[in-house]
Every structure is written in structure tokens, then in C-alpha cells.
Amino acid sequence: MTTVTVSSDGGVLTLSDGTRTARFHAIWLRDNAWDAQTRSPGNGQRLITLADIPKDTRIATAAMSGAMLRLSFAPDGKTVEFDPAWLLDRSYDRAQDRRPGWTSPGIETWDAGLTHAVPTGDFASVSADPLALCHWLGGVARYGFGKLLGGPVEDGALMRVVDLFGYVRETNYGRHFEVRTTVNPTNLAYTGLGLQAHTDNPYRDPVPTIQVLYCLESSAAGGENMVVDGFRAAERLREESPAGFDLLTQHCARFEYAGEAGVVLRSRRPMIELAPDGELVAVRFNNRSAAAITDVSFDKMEGYYAAYRRFGEIIDDPAMEVTFRLNPGECFVVDNTRVLHARKGYSGTGTRWLQGCYADKDGLLSRLAALSVREAAE
Amino acid sequence: MTTVTVSSDGGVLTLSDGTRTARFHAIWLRDNAWDAQTRSPGNGQRLITLADIPKDTRIATAAMSGAMLRLSFAPDGKTVEFDPAWLLDRSYDRAQDRRPGWTSPGIETWDAGLTHAVPTGDFASVSADPLALCHWLGGVARYGFGKLLGGPVEDGALMRVVDLFGYVRETNYGRHFEVRTTVNPTNLAYTGLGLQAHTDNPYRDPVPTIQVLYCLESSAAGGENMVVDGFRAAERLREESPAGFDLLTQHCARFEYAGEAGVVLRSRRPMIELAPDGELVAVRFNNRSAAAITDVSFDKMEGYYAAYRRFGEIIDDPAMEVTFRLNPGECFVVDNTRVLHARKGYSGTGTRWLQGCYADKDGLLSRLAALSVREAAE
């Protein structure tokens, strides 16, 4: 039984479906109307601006009409209808204060315990079956990474992975880059050195939000890949040292890369980034490209460095890492705003050849959302 | 005369060149060393992690050796040299508290007064002359937009503009998109409607940071372009209403676009985004794709809407806008994290055909920095 009441001044509507109750302001309701004069029926885009809505908008009448809530507004007499469930799903009449570092309900943080439950897809299946793709992308969205097995062993095959969910983000490294040992490397990635767990390109703003690393040759000893959930690492830091967590979230670090001619990339962003309401939205961590930190005051710098050190120790803790070896035709996809990746050193006989590229997470999430809608409808 | 002293516990070095004095912590100095064991001489990337530096690192000795500052650290005996000027340029021994909404010294906010001083380049000059390109890109970086005149009137010419400074960011709209009136438009941009000043794709995260709009046909009446400095608008809001400014910076808005099949793009980001230390870093404003705002508590929603309305009024104020008409072969480039663009409605006889595409600002700033280094060296 849906009930609706309006405050005496017409400013606030209270809606209840028997289970959920929420208050909505007149201006919010008018702005979020879905009639054909407010929103384009074809593409859903809003046709008016806030300036088109009278400043003193208030609710004149409100009543259920069948399953729909019918409202009229003063002073302009505008009439609109809402699905009460749509409104209650968008209730803002609730406590909004959460502890800094909270994560979206759509994600789950993890440590080494995920080793035997890594989101894994089969290249042929996810390419042919939207349901398989939806499940695999859902895992990538939830855990921030996923593996894809059984792909072709051919130059450029990683582009077929990107085609599954989005578009390549081209950079100074090209549309894709070759990860193998080279002489006079412009980047330490192109050596046999082990690399501490890191996010890629923190000196870019925005950073590439997705990375694909695709294996074409893998006969050298060593070179295993590791991934670490930067969000779990941030949560651990917050538990151990709330003050240290605050230092890393409330100050900008700096990153720089100028390892090739004509390129001077610099950024100023926090190592642990929160939305203004405290949601954990990104981690940037990369010893190779960390530049001098100058945005922390003298009296806080020692504490900042202690937190930075501890954050690195947590990231280096084997209890945090999922390790695997990619074979030719296998790849992994990481959310580069969240999951750090690393590789063990390699050398000696044999070869190790990966191809990497960047793409964007919004495209991946869009594809997932569209596939999920389709799933739900079937 | 450079002087240097070390605190009795070896924790802090005080450096002065007679004009500037600054204190540096031992751990900061060790971490930022530039010797060949710490930083790769070829590409400048750091070869060690913080875990490789003893936790109790302190300065054992410090003395000038010619023009260089020579330091040794305990307990490991590590010796490094610094250019004192390099250190003093990176001083963090200063007050770090600034009023929220401060802007980088590299930028200048503007209003309609910029109309006759728009950063403008000539296509042939900036294509051929690095100095001309450096000056034009410098203007785009400082003001957040710039015009380029005298370009070819040919399909795809906008790609030659992007080639000047970076890489196309491909999206669901393609590598580029056609801005002209279409039947059943997936986006209101593809109609003759006037569009309120907006930033593009706020429903994407990250948003495209650069947009290029290139004119190929322009015989219809109307359709003028306008740009508004979102940073100046944010500054005005802050002056008029500090509380309103705080509401827009401290809460996330939501944006959504699902106007074509297979695309469901959603984001949750503030309309005015600050770095954790208050630097103004981005503005998102788009009436067409603003979704229901649910991350503001009930008791703050009316105030939020009042601030949102006022921000829109400031953006709509003609005193804020620079208006111009693009002729075939002319284009403009905007920093889509800062400068809003709009167009007046058009209709009737004649045609209006623009091509647009997205690119990334970090590439533009990198190109500018590299060209500036080259300028300085010549």
C-alpha cells in the first residue's frame, strides 16, 4: 500500500510503500521528472536546465493514480508521474556519513585467499556468449582483475580482448607496447628486473583505468605475475594506522616520467584517493615514477613517510598477493585505479614476451551494465 | 653562499642559499637521491623501493663540495650529491594551508573580457614551427581553450590537430563524431537545439580531458560557439556563497547516459572537484546528463539545489562567456575538465557541420613541457 503526504508549504513529499519511507523535496522531484518535455523520449537526455524550473517550485497536489504517483507543481501547474519504486530506489533521506575509506557495494576486496577463485574466462566463450562475457566482466568489476585463457597466440591478439568491452587508450607508448627485454630501455618494464607491485602511469592524469597484459612467449625461468588489491591494502593501513591513512589521503604525491625524448609527464594526486564523501576511488603506487613530494608540510613529512613506508610493506606482504604464471594465449585485465601488478625478475635462457595496452574502465562498466540489463530482461 | 647544517640527531638538514632557507628530512633526501644506484641514468626511473632504505636513516655528514651538496647517510654509509638549487626548488618547508578552491599558478581564470585575447594559432605555423606550437599550447594550458585558424577543410582534418599534441581518446561515439542535425538523434548534440554551456561526458570516469571541435561547413544562421571558464564560475560561486561552494565540492553528483543501444555510462563525481588540499581540479556540468542526486543528505538537499542553481546562473551569465563563430577550417580545443562550451540554436537554410573528438590533456601538457625545455635550452 503506497501512501503519500505533502508538507503544508508544498516543499516536501513523504512517500511510503509500507516497507520504505522517504522524503523528497519539490525541486528534486521536478528536476528528476521523466515526462517528454523534461527528458527526450528517444535518448533520455534532459531537455531543460534548472533555470527553466521556477525557483519557488512547490508541490500543489500529490496522489496515487493506479500504480503511479501523480504530482502537480505550483506555480507553473506542471503535472508529472513517477513510479514510486523508482523514487524509493533513489532515496536520499538517510544518513550519509560513512567512515572515510568505504567502498562501493559493488566491489569486494581480497588478499592471497583469492588465489583459487580468480575471475577467469575462456577466450572463445566470452567472445561468443554474452552471458559468459557478462559473468567474466562482472568478476573484473567486483575484484578489479580477471584472467582470460585459451586465446590465440598471435601478435596483436590483445586488441581482441579490448574489443570485448571497450576502446584502446593510446599513449606515448603506442596503441600497445611490447614487454620484453630490450637494450637501453626507455622504461624499466622493458628489462628482466623484478618490479614491485605498482599501478601503471600514475604520472598521467587521468591514469589509464584498465590495463591488459597478454602473453605470447613464456619459456624463461621466473617472470611470474602478481596482483595485489590496493583497496584492501588501503583498508589494512586504515585499520593499523588511521592517522597514516589520513596522511596519504589528505595530501597529494607527485609522479613524473621523462624517460623518452619529447615526453615530460607529471601529475599531482594522492596515493590513496577518496571521493569528497570518503569513498575509496583510486590508489596510485609506483616506486619507479614517484617524484619528490612537496605538498606535505614539514611537520607532517616524517609521519607521511612512515605511512608511505607502511603502505608499501603491506603491498609487499605475500599474504596480500595472488601469483600466477601466464602461458602463451593467456592474459589478465586489471583495474589500474585499484589493483597493483608486479612481476618477478627473470633471466637466463628462454624468452618472455608480453604485449600490453590500456583501455578505459567506464567502457567496461558500461558494457557490463548493458549486458546485465539484457540478462535481467531475458 | 650556500650554508648547510644538520640537526644533532641527523634527522634534519637545513639548507640556505642566502635568499631561501629550507629544512629537509633525512628520509626525504635519501629517497630523492639521483645517483645511479637510486635512479636509472637512462630513463630517470627509481630503481629502489622505500623498503630498500633503512627505517632509521639519518644524515651522518653534510658539506658543500664545490657547487654540490655532498651527504652521507647512516647506518648504511650511502653517499649522494645534490644540486642545492634543485633542493630549494622543491622545498616543502612552508605553509601548506590554502583556501579551498585555489588554482595552480600555471593557470589564469577569465570571463568575457578574454574575448579579444583568445589564444589563437595558425594551423600552418603550429604544424611547422615548434616555437609557435609551444606558444599556442601554452595558451591552451593557461586559459583552458584555444582556437586554431586556417586549417584544411577536409573530412578528418581534426586528427591533424590532435597529432600536434597527443592521441585520440576513442569512445562509444567513435574516434571522432559528426556534429550535425540528424533524424532520431542518439544525443541532443546532433540536433539544431541550443545547448547550455556544459562539459562533455561527465557520465564517463575519467571524462575525456580534451575536446577538439572542428568546423567543416557553416552556412546556417546561428550555431555560434561559446565557452565559459568553469574555474572562474567556481571562484565566483565561492565569493558569493562559501557555503554553496562547499556543498558542491563536498558531495558527489551523478551523471548518466544510456541514449544508444549497449551503452549505460554512469558516474558519481562532484560538480566542482577539489584535490585533497583544496586545489580546484575539475568542473562537471551538464544539464542533459545529470542524473538523480542521491548522495546529499535530506537536510542539505535544498541548500545543494540552491547552490547548483546559482552555479548554473553564473555559467549562463553573458558576462562570463566568450562567443565566436567557427568558419570552415577553424577549430577550437577545450580543456574539458575546466572550460564549458555551448552553442546557440540554429535552423533554417544552410548547413552546420562540425567534427569532434576527444584526446587527453596529460599528452598536451607533456608536449608543452618538452617543447618548453627545448625552448629554454636554445
Count interface pairs A-B at CB distance under 8 A: 255
When pLDDT is cut at 50, 70 and 90, the band that residue A183 belongs to is low
Question: CA A350, A353, A356 angle in degrees (round to 5)?
Answer: 165
Distance CA A261, CA A184 (A): 13
The dihedrals phi and psi of B207, each to the nearest 5 degrees, come to: -70, 160
Answer yes or no: do B90 and A365 touch at CB < 8 A. Answer: no
Residues above pLDDT 70, as percent of chain A: 99
User: Which CATH number do you get for residue A54?
Assistant: 3.30.2020.30
| Chain segment B145-159, per-residue pLDDT in tens | 999 999 999 999 999
| Chain segment A103-137, per-residue pLDDT in tens | 999 999 999 999 999 999 999 999 999 999 999 99
Please state the ipTM of this predicted complex: 0.96
Residues A200 and A330 in one domain: yes
Distance CA B364, CA B166 (A): 6
Residues A239 and A327 in one domain: yes
3-state helix, strand, coil in chain B (%, to 5): 30, 30, 40
The verdict on residue B26 lying in a domain is: yes
B365, closest residue in chain A (CA to CA) = A265
β-bridge pairing A145-149 and A120-122: parallel
Q: Rounded mean pLDDT of chain A?
A: 95
Q: Which residues pair with A3 in a beta bridge?
A: A16
When pLDDT is cut at 50, 70 and 90, the band that residue A180 belongs to is confident
Residues B116 and B265 in one domain: yes
Q: Is A298 on the interface with B (CB under 8 A)?
A: yes
Are B346 and B221 in contact by the 8 Å Cβ rule? The answer is: yes
Pick from B184, B294, B369: CB nearest A90: B294
Answer yes or no: do A293 and B28 touch at CB < 8 A. Answer: yes
| Across A176-183, average pLDDT | 84
Q: How far apart, in Å, are the Cα atoms of B350 and each of B187, B274, B324?
A: 21, 43, 18
Residues A64 and A118 in one domain: no
Alpha carbon A34 to its chain's center = 29
Three-class HEC string of A42-60: CCCCECCCHHHCCCCCEEE
This prediction has a pTM of 0.96
| Chain segment A285-323, per-residue pLDDT in tens | 999 999 999 999 999 999 999 999 999 999 999 999 999
| Chain segment B170-198, per-residue pLDDT in tens | 999 999 999 987 767 777 777 778 889 99
| Across B85-114, average pLDDT | 95
Quick check: A4 pLDDT over 80? yes
Quick check: B350 pLDDT over 90? no
| Chain segment A334-357, per-residue pLDDT in tens | 999 999 999 888 876 788 899 999
Residues B285 and B347 in one domain: yes
Q: Which domain holds residue B213?
A: 112-377
Residues B85 and B222 in one domain: no
Grid coordinates belonging to A137:
566482466
Quick check: B349 pLDDT over 80? no
List all residues of chain A from 345 to 374 with a beta carbon under 8 Å from chain B: 360-363, 365-367, 369-370, 373
* Helix or strand holding residue B357 (H, E): strand B352-359
Are B259 and B291 in contact by the 8 Å Cβ rule? The answer is: no
A50 to chain B, closest Cα gap in Å: 6
Alpha carbon B45 to its chain's center = 24
Residues A169 and A77 in one domain: no
Residues B191 and B338 in one domain: yes
| Chain segment A358-368, per-residue pLDDT in tens | 999 999 999 99
Alpha-carbon Rg for chain B, nearest whole angstrom, is 25
When pLDDT is cut at 50, 70 and 90, the band that residue A185 belongs to is confident
The verdict on residue A101 lying in a domain is: no
Quick check: A378 pLDDT over 70? no
Residues above pLDDT 90, as percent of chain A: 87
Are B272 and B249 in contact by the 8 Å Cβ rule? The answer is: yes
Pick from B90, B203, B362: CB nearest A205: B362
CA dihedral A116, A121, A124, A127 (to 10 degrees): 180
Q: Give residue B73's pLDDT.
A: 98
Answer yes or no: do B185 and A263 touch at CB < 8 A. Answer: no
B52, closest residue in chain A (CA to CA) = A309
Answer yes or no: do B25 and A297 touch at CB < 8 A. Answer: no
The verdict on residue B104 lying in a domain is: no
Residues A65 and A192 in one domain: no
| Chain segment A39-73, per-residue pLDDT in tens | 999 889 999 999 999 999 999 999 999 999 999 99
Most A CBs within 10 Å, among B38, B92, B310, to test the A interface: B92
Residues B71 and B123 in one domain: no
Q: Give residue B40's pLDDT.
A: 93
Chain A residues in contact with B276 by the CB 8 A cut-off are: 249-252, 270, 273-274
Residues A51 and A122 in one domain: no
Question: CA B92, B96, B101 angle in degrees (round to 5)?
Answer: 135
Most B CBs within 10 Å, among A28, A247, A374, to test the B interface: A28
Alpha carbon A225 to its chain's center = 21
Q: Which of A35, A57, A89 is the last residue of a domain?
A: A89
Pick from B46, B172, B257: CB nearest A290: B46
The verdict on residue B136 lying in a domain is: yes
Q: Give residue B183's pLDDT.
A: 66
Grid coordinates belonging to A130:
554474452
The verdict on residue A284 lying in a domain is: yes
| Chain segment A202-255, per-residue pLDDT in tens | 999 999 999 999 999 998 888 899 999 999 999 999 999 999 999 999 999 999
User: Which CATH number do you get for residue A363?
Assistant: 3.60.130.10
Grid coordinates belonging to A24:
523528497
When pLDDT is cut at 50, 70 and 90, the band that residue B308 belongs to is very high
Quick check: B219 pLDDT over 90? no
Cis previous bond, A75, omega within 30: yes
The residues, ordered by sequence, that sit 6+ positions from A43 with a Cβ below 8 Å of its Cβ are B185, B186, B187, B188, B259, B260
Q: Is B116 on the interface with A (CB under 8 A)?
A: no
B88, closest residue in chain A (CA to CA) = A294
Q: Give residue A97's pLDDT.
A: 81
**DSSP secondary structure of B221-268:** EE--EEEEEHHHHHHHHHHH-HHHHHHHHHS-EEEEE--STT--EEEE
Surface-to-core class of residue A282, CB atoms within 10 Å of its CB (0-12 exposed, 13-18 middle, 19+ buried):
buried
Query: Would you call B37 helix, strand, or coil by DSSP?
Result: coil
The verdict on residue B277 lying in a domain is: yes
Cis previous bond, B152, omega within 30: no
Number of domains composing chain B: 2
**DSSP secondary structure of B300-321:** HHHHHHHHHHHHHHHHH-GGGE
The verdict on residue A103 lying in a domain is: no
Chain B residues in contact with A295 by the CB 8 A cut-off are: 92, 96, 277
Q: Give residue B373's pLDDT.
A: 85
The verdict on residue A105 lying in a domain is: no
Residues B57 and B130 in one domain: no
Q: Give residue B378's pLDDT.
A: 66
Q: Is A103 on the interface with B (CB under 8 A)?
A: no
Answer yes or no: do A275 and B252 touch at CB < 8 A. Answer: yes
